[in-house]
Structure formats: structure tokens, C-alpha cells
A = this chain, B = another copy of it.
Amino acid sequence: MNSPSGGDLYGFRDAQGEQGRSCSVRGYCSPAHESTGPELVRDLVSLIQQAEADNAVKVLVFRSADPDYFISHVDVTRIKEYREEAAKLTGEASIALLFRYLSASRLVSIAQIEGRARGAGSEFVLACDLRFAARESAIFGHPEAGTGVSPGAGGIQHLARLMGRARALEVMLSAQDYGAELAERYGWINRALPAKELGNFVRSLAHRIAKFPAAGVVTVKDRVNAIALAPVEDFRRDSDLFGEGARSPEAQRRFLAALKRGFQTRDAEMDLAGLLGGLADD
């Protein structure tokens, strides 16, 4: 999710986006497969700060230039580093609180998902206000339990509320991949749409919302968040539990075994669910 080019941090790859800063919809486009690491978190902090400071910006759209990956899970070798980047916005070394900051922002955020969104990638998507996925190609997953840890960036809070107890447990205990249609049925995403319609649908919706008066939009967000966005302390607790889990000898052993099998590489993670299942047999 590095900005594709320095001067085009918000650059939507369409006519509207290219009109510059007067545009009320800004897109952010991840260039390639990348773990949630310090660079991505730094970019996200910068994006949110700049967009919030510009009253003309009302809607953010996130998508990826890599058709196979939206955003991957955290880089387990750089947890301390990416957490420190998050602290630059929220004062706390936790991406759970950074993601929650986005959910609570006056900005309306929309995720347009064509590829894989797992772990913190799924949690980023869950932090966005709206999320639409390509029916044919989008894949969602929470691999944490497969390495002995638990989702630490808000996934537990969102999934339990969106899907209910049994489906949230299934998703997080199975560490399986879920296609877009099943993700829609489970409430993980708003809707799965045909890939060829997805971009236009999201663009049209983003511009429609951006034209409505800010007052009603902000009130709706605030009131819905008061009901359906978990308190800061619950995000913080999940973040702490992930940190404790990741430092445990059992998780460290699993991380190493997984890294040997290609964990955190583009190719091996095409089938991360399979990698984790094999890991259990080590």
C-alpha cells in the first residue's frame, strides 16, 4: 500500500482523481503484495492526516494495483516497528487503534477488494465504513490461530458483531480462506459484485456520498458508531493479547516453521490456508 508515486498519494486512477485536490473523493492504491509493515502504516498515517486536514476531502477509496492481493497480514518480524509508526497518529503503539481511528473519522472510507485480504488486511477492510469485493477473485481470511496467536487489530470486535458468535468463531478458529460470496453471506463485506462492475460501482457510490451535505453523513456515522463500533479499550486489549501471544515460545516456533514454508512470500501465500494446515503436521 505504498503510494504509487510521491505526488499522487491520493491519486485515484480515474478522471475525478486526476482533477487534484479539489476532488472530494480520494483513492489510495496499493501497488503490490505487501505485508502490513512499517512502510504501509506510515503511509496510512500520512494519508489520514492529510485527508482529515483538507475539508474538501469527504470520501477515501482504497484499492490495490495487485490483482491477487489487497493487503496482507502483519509482518511478524517487524511488529515493534509498524506499531511505532501507528503511534505517530494515535499516541499508542497499536494498529488496532489506528484502524479504529479511521472508523471514527469524519471521512467515509470504502474498500474495493479484488484480491486477498487476510489478518490485518481483513482488519483494515473491516475498519473501513463500506467494503465491496470482486466475486470471482477476492479472498478473506484470519490465519492467526494457525500460528497460535489471535487477531489483534480489531478483527475479533468487528467479526463477532457482524457475523454473530458461531460464524466469527468459525472464521477465526479455522484459519481458512473464504471467497467473496461466502464472505457476503457471512456479513464480512457489504456485497460481492462481478469484478467488471466493481470499480464503477464503488466510484459512483463514492461520488454520490461525497456530494451529500456533510452534516447528515457525520451524524449517521457518529450514531452508528455509538452502537456498532467497539470501545477503544476492547481494541486495545485485543492488541495487547496479540502482542503477548506473538512473543510466546509456541508462536515464535510456529512463525519460524511457517517462514521456512514460505510464509510472508507472495507465492506461498497464494494458498495460505493450505500452508497453515500443513504446518500443523510438522
Answer whether residue A53 sits at the interface, using C-beta atoms and an 8 A cutoff.
no
Answer whether residue A275 sits at the interface, using C-beta atoms and an 8 A cutoff.
no
Q: How far is the CA of A280 from the CA of B211 in the complex (A)?
A: 6
Contact B219 A245, beta carbon cutoff 8 Å: yes
**Inter-chain contacts of A225 with B (CB < 8 A):** 165
Q: Which residue of B130, B145, B157 contacts A212 across the interface (Cβ within 8 Å)?
A: B145
Q: Which residue of B145, B170, B229, B281 contacts A130 across the interface (Cβ within 8 Å)?
A: B170
Answer whether residue A151 sits at the interface, using C-beta atoms and an 8 A cutoff.
yes
**A209, closest chain B residue (CB):** B173
Stretch in A65-73, A89-97, A247-255 with 4+ CB within 8 Å of B = A247-255
Answer whether residue A7 sits at the interface, using C-beta atoms and an 8 A cutoff.
no
Task: State how many angstroms separate the Cβ of A187 from the closest Cβ of chain B.
Answer: 6
Answer whether residue A228 sits at the interface, using C-beta atoms and an 8 A cutoff.
yes
Contact B190 A145, beta carbon cutoff 8 Å: no
Task: State how many angstroms separate the Cβ of A258 from the closest Cβ of chain B.
Answer: 12
Contact A156 B216, beta carbon cutoff 8 Å: no
Q: With A223-B238, A238-B223 in contact, do A212 and B148 touch (Cβ < 8 Å)?
A: yes
**Inter-chain contacts of A175 with B (CB < 8 A):** 208, 212
Q: How far is the CA of A224 from the CA of B238 in the complex (A)?
A: 11
Some 23 contacts from A to B, beta carbons below 8 A apart, are A128-B166, A130-B166, A145-B220, A148-B212, A148-B216, A150-B216, A160-B228, A161-B164, A162-B164, A163-B187, A166-B190, A167-B190, A168-B224, A169-B224, A173-B209, A174-B209, A175-B212, A208-B277, A213-B254, A219-B241, A219-B245, A223-B238, A227-B230
